[in-house]
Structure 1
Amino acid sequence: MTDILELSATATPAEILRAGLAAAGGPVKLACSFSVEDVVLVDLIAELGLPIGTFALDTGRLNEETYEVAEALADRYRLAIDWYFPRHEAVEALERERGPFSFRRSLAERHHCCQIRKVEPLGRALHGLAGWVTGMRREQSVTRSGLRAIEIDTVNGGIVKINPLLAWDEAQVWAYAESRRLPVNRLHRQGYRSIGCAPCTRPVAPGEHPRAGRWWWEAAEHKECGLHRRR
């Protein structure tokens, strides 16, 4: 396992995916948010013919444009997407007791919302898996600068976590997507460089950091939803 995890700094996404599958030694799925990075990974996995499934988390607050990408991928690749939703009782209690915009009151309130809408469903999505694939990249934020190509996800039961695009910059991602004419979220063309839940995402101005539009009322070091926690 140690030898597999220590990949060359120049390892390609394809090499990382193959090594990650070998390290997992069991079922692996891509966590797809339908970002341009995840669309690239769907295409790459299909091209390589790798036995990697796909799941998605529907928080109940996604943009219409996000569902359009999901449908386009399902049609183009005959992709079976396993959708996971938050527990309806938890969402009902959240909105009844705290209101629809409680997440903007404090970091703790926002984490509470993400726990219900994202983290708990992720736990169910990962149940029974030996590994999962993400579209995270090091340059996306200060919270991701320490990413490794293949990690042991101690928060989620010690399964393998595979980050094939960790070393790519935004230009490389878009060059691949455009060369392959991949279906991408229309919001990207409207200034959205990182897309999450609709109330938590806005376009960024020229020169702003790509994730400046995510939870824009918070400090940069807090801009994670809890899906990629580290111990």
Structure 2
Amino acid sequence: MDKITKENLQYWNDKLNNISLENILDIVLKNVEGRVVFSTSFGIEDQVLTHYLNPFHNKVEVFTLDTGRQFNETYEVFQKTQSKYPNLTIKTYYPEEADIQEYYQKSGVNGFYNSIEERKQCCFIRKVKPLNRALKGASVWITGLRAEQSANRESMQFLEWDEDHQLVKFNPLLHYTLKDVEAEINEFNIPINSLYKKGFLSIGCAPCTRALEPGEDFRAGRWWWEDGKKECGLHLHESKNN
């Protein structure tokens, strides 16, 4: 059987349909080569993946991005996760101090409220640049993205080619619904961010995240003062499948 490569992603995507999460992870991790990384923000999707990736701790590197503006509740679930899964080492990547100082001098501490451009620049400094460092040299990037989360994620596949980072992006929770994720959380007693039960379904930086109102879209609580797509740039670039 051919290993997973940029050229045969569609073949593997077809094989992965209608397979359990545990088996999807096992199959993919046995058939990829090179450095495999998993990015967690400690949202409920990432927590489910952390649980299922724990047996593969020797194969997968886990990392998180600490923007410096996160909720204390996020740090609390970080600590609980480390306690529950001691075999997993979670590496933290931070923004560059010089970038933060320059941004503060130019736009102010909360300049991201001023315009979409200034908000995107803040995300670039605090998230995108650290992510680029974390992904350097990786061949596979595991994410907790789900097709149901937003309209611009509905066209995703399990395995995609990320042209910007020159690696395979692996979305094992692709077809999970929110109810599916919550069921896994409850079944395995997986720690979650305490803000989730207060209406924070998508949790990012504290100044840029609010609880959802009844009937609002999953991403409506992120950058709520803006219109349009609710993305920070980590997953905005279109992936290609072959």
Bin for the TM-score computed over the shorter chain: over 0.9
Aligned to 2:157: 148
Q: What amino acid sits opposite 2:33 in the alignment?
A: G
The CA RMSD over aligned residues, in Å, is: 1.6
Cα gap change, 1:197 to 1:19, in 2 (>3 Å): same
Aligned to 2:15: 7
- The yes-or-no answer on 1:226 pairing with 2:233 is yes
Q: What amino acid sits opposite 2:22 in the alignment?
A: A
Deviations 1:33-64 (A, max 9, x none): 00011010000112466621210000000100
Q: Which runs of 5+ in 1 are unaligned?
A: none
Match of 1:84 among 78, 93, 110: 93
After superposition, residues 52-63 of structure 1 pair within 5 angstroms as: 52-63=60-71
SS at match of 2:219: helix
Kept in 1, the 8 Å contact 2:39–2:64? The answer is: yes
Counterpart-to-counterpart distance in 1, 2:219 and 2:99: 28
Aligned to 1:113: 122
Aligned to 2:113: 104
Counterpart-to-counterpart distance in 1, 2:53 and 2:120: 32
**Percent of aligned positions that are identical:** 40
Match of 2:179 among 148, 166, 171: 171
Counterpart-to-counterpart distance in 2, 1:145 and 1:126: 24
TM-score, normalised via structure 1 length? 0.93
SS at match of 2:183: helix
Counterpart-to-counterpart distance in 1, 2:96 and 2:231: 21
1:114: how far off?
0.7
Counterpart-to-counterpart distance in 1, 2:114 and 2:224: 13
Deviations 1:63-85 (A, max 9, x none): 00001111111111112111000
Counterpart-to-counterpart distance in 2, 1:5 and 1:82: 29
Counterpart-to-counterpart distance in 1, 2:68 and 2:57: 32
SS at match of 1:166: coil
Counterpart-to-counterpart distance in 2, 1:104 and 1:86: 19
Q: What amino acid sits opposite 1:229 in the alignment?
A: L
Q: Which runs of 5+ in 2 are unaligned?
A: none
Aligned to 2:141: 132
Task: Report how many aligned residue pairs link the two structures.
Answer: 229
TM-score, normalised via structure 2 length? 0.89
Counterpart-to-counterpart distance in 2, 1:50 and 1:38: 18
